[in-house]
Chains A and B, each alone.
Chain A
Amino acid sequence: MLLDVRDLHVEFHTREGVAKAVNGVNYRVDAGETLAVLGESGSGKSVTAQAVMGILDMPPGRITRGQVLFEGRDLLKLKEDERRRVRGAEMAMIFQDALSSLNPVLTVGDQLAEMFTVHRGMSRKDARARAVELMDRVRIPAAGQRVKQYPHQFSGGMRQRIMIAMAMALEPKLIIADEPTTALDVTVQAQVMDLLAELQREYRMGLILITHDLGVVADVADRIAVMYAGRIVETAPVHDLYKAPAHPYTRGLLDSVPRLDHKGRELYAIKGLPPSLLHIPSGCPFHPRCPMVRDVCRTDVPPLYEVTGAPAGRGSACHFWRECLHG
């Protein structure tokens, strides 16, 4: 087990009150495995990742409960300087917006080389050589010349490759990619996802892919965790989840996506809106939008039930998962 997140709770103190962004999240990632965390805006998928990485802004954020076990060590108990050694060297993150994640006044070569001078104590010359190698590795053409250029001189897809190179630099065991291709065009998205998958296989890294795109998930994930209002509502191997979802929210999401290989007039639409994190509904947080809602859903918070009769490791936070699975 590479990463084991247990019962994680995160709150934000805002002027309007306490926003409960993450409410008891559990997930695990093995070496070489891709876990997709799927959710809409406000579902807590990015906040969970930030807490795992240790880059959550505190305050206003606060981790109120839980453990983040990385190879058995609870990262939340580490001091900041110990944490810093883990970050980058053992786990790294790729962000959605490469332009604002790179330093605009340093060349990309300097930024890549910095990884080696700071973490590995290399000389500037050696570090520079490694930077060129890395850029070559993520297939940036003419890496030798382009290493001297600034981020704005690269296209969106090339910048995202530089982000990947930076994350890969110290050969971490875990990569968290937060919407890595959302800002890119489809043809470039395909190039970048391909590269990421190839590097992951080669280095047997664990990958957490955070996304809202059901298509991207179907292409690359081994397992999926679906988040809603700060909770994981369903988790399953990718094939099982698409074949037969065990939570009405997952089912609704799958049905509401227009598909390239189908044409239909009316799309299924989940009624209503995602809840405000300041006022999460009682009982099951999905109950006001759920087509299967019953009285118990309004009062009792469903635990993540084990979905029996399915391959091990399926879970659903629905009191009526059986009906959903077979309905």
Chain B
Amino acid sequence: MAEPILQVRGLVKHYPLTTGVLFRKQVGAVRAVDGVDFDLARGETLGIVGESGCGKSTVARMLVNLEKPTAGEIRYKGEDITRLSGKALKAVRRNIQMVFQDPYTSLNPRMTVGDIIGEAYDIHPEVAPRGDRRRRVRELLDVVGLNPEYVNRYPHQFSGGQRQRIGIARGLALRPEIIVADEPVSALDVSVQAQVINLMGRLQDEFGLSYVFIAHDLSIVRHISDRVAVMYLGRIVETGSHTEIYDHPTHPYTQALLSAVPVPDPEAREHRERIILAGDVPSPANIPSGCRFRTRCWKARERCALEVPPLAVPAGFRDATGPVAHDSACHFAEAKQVVPPEADGAESGRGR
């Protein structure tokens, strides 16, 4: 891999739990993110998947500096941005922008679309000279497929899909290199989802963007990602290329997650194996010892309660070549195909 544009090392976010009003005493911590490492290469899309509470959104918020990490490093082009402040921080933040999940609450209802997108230039005037801003904003609207005549409209005059386009235009305004998108399409209807996903794909090619794409929908992540990281209770449990993760998962959690995703094909329901996990995700304030997935794992043995499995190529696959040899934090990792293989090689759906 070429020199990564972003390197995350040992990233941790703990929220303290306190008791007492006058004399606050820390009694524990919600370990939302508990040691996360990954790299992001230039021009690539890293998909982060996981269920609610796994810490994926907290990771996103730390990447764009909306949350301060408790520990760990976020290196942008080799420089740890968690230690920056003032001007140096401001310069870096320009290059890492965010697209939010909910297009209904992430746009200020009292500002026009032009002001929402152009606001970034008030903070970073070096990107666009004052006289040029109006033109830039109209250009951006055009790029995301909205009519440039709409600059003076307000967010409520747009549909959900159009609002998400506005959110994307705002993210692009400062010409960043990295876009962190936190569930950017999960609030949208199916027919509109496809439009926004295609738009993001096109913009990536056009501007050479790198994406960190966070979602709970595994089908969308497969569609858009080059590499995928699966999170569970604040840690990455398995990571690899999309083929490695989807066609050759070795971590039992990934296998269960993939097998639970409904596939829009009624023929598949008879011959598909389902792994139904027992119980719920434990609270991040009370993480199980050893492997944090063991309380729901059908393979758990004594060793799992004692030893934390490292995120590395499992011992059994160390000599293997090919797609099974990828990082998986499980003592008893096993290859298992849970997604039906592509039937007819059709690129999407029935191919049209």
A and B from one assembly? yes
* Residues of A near any B CB (own CB < 8 A): 40-41, 141, 155, 157-158, 185-191, 194, 212-219, 221, 238-239, 242, 252-271, 273-274
* Pairwise interchain contact B258-A260, C-beta atoms closer than 8 A: yes
* Pairwise interchain contact A262-B342, C-beta atoms closer than 8 A: yes
CB within 8 Å for A218 and B219 given contacts A191-B276, A267-B197: no
Chain B residues within 8 Å of A215, by CB: 219, 261-264
What are the 8 A-B residue pairs with the smallest beta carbon separation, nearest first?
A215-B262, A258-B223, A256-B194, A185-B51, A264-B348, A190-B260, A214-B264, A40-B189
Q: How far is the CA of A238 from the CA of B268 in the complex (A)?
A: 12
Q: Which of B280-333 contact A (CB under 8 A)?
A: 280-281
* Pairwise interchain contact B198-A269, C-beta atoms closer than 8 A: yes
Q: Which of B98-135 contact A (CB under 8 A)?
A: none
B5: interface (CB < 8 Å): no
Which of B190, B194, B195 counts the most A-chain CB atoms under 10 A from its CB?
B190
Chain B residues within 8 Å of A191, by CB: 276-277
CB within 8 Å for A274 and B266 given contacts A262-B347, A268-B349: no
How many whole Å from B267's CB to the nearest CB in chain A? 7
Chain B residues within 8 Å of A158, by CB: 280
CB within 8 Å for A254 and B52 given contacts A186-B218, A187-B256, A187-B277: no
* Pairwise interchain contact A267-B222, C-beta atoms closer than 8 A: no
Chain A residues within 8 Å of B223, by CB: 258-259, 263-264, 267
* Pairwise interchain contact A259-B260, C-beta atoms closer than 8 A: no
**Which residue of chain A is the closest to B195 with respect to CB atoms?**
A269
Chain B residues within 8 Å of A214, by CB: 190, 264
Chain B residues within 8 Å of A267, by CB: 194, 197-198, 223, 348
B211: interface (CB < 8 Å): no
Besides A214-B264, A218-B263, A268-B352, 14 more A-B contacts (Cβ < 8 Å) are A157-B280, A186-B260, A188-B280, A252-B191, A256-B194, A257-B190, A258-B219, A258-B223, A258-B224, A259-B222, A260-B339, A266-B198, A269-B194, A269-B195
* Pairwise interchain contact A186-B261, C-beta atoms closer than 8 A: yes
* Pairwise interchain contact A254-B349, C-beta atoms closer than 8 A: yes
Q: How far is the CA of A155 from the CA of B280 in the complex (A)?
A: 8
* Residues of B near any A CB (own CB < 8 A): 51-52, 159, 161-162, 189-195, 197-198, 201, 216-220, 222-224, 242, 246, 256-269, 274, 276-277, 279-281, 339-343, 346-350, 352
CB within 8 Å for A186 and B257 given contacts A219-B262, A266-B201: yes
Chain A residues within 8 Å of B161, by CB: 273
Q: How far is the CA of A263 from the CA of B225 in the complex (A)?
A: 9
How many whole Å from B265's CB to the nearest CB in chain A? 6
Q: How far is the CA of A188 from the CA of B159 in the complex (A)?
A: 30
Chain A residues within 8 Å of B216, by CB: 185-186
How many whole Å from A199's CB to the nearest CB in chain B? 15
Chain B residues within 8 Å of A270, by CB: 191, 194-195
User: 20 A-B Cβ contacts within 8 A?
Assistant: A186-B257, A187-B256, A190-B274, A212-B189, A214-B264, A218-B268, A242-B267, A258-B222, A258-B223, A259-B223, A259-B349, A260-B222, A260-B258, A260-B263, A261-B340, A261-B341, A263-B222, A268-B348, A273-B159, A274-B191
How many whole Å from B253's CB to the nearest CB in chain A? 9
**Which residue of chain B is the closest to A289 with respect to CB atoms?**
B191
Q: How far is the CA of A257 from the CA of B197 in the complex (A)?
A: 11
* Pairwise interchain contact A187-B189, C-beta atoms closer than 8 A: no
**Which residue of chain A is the closest to B296 with respect to CB atoms?**
A187
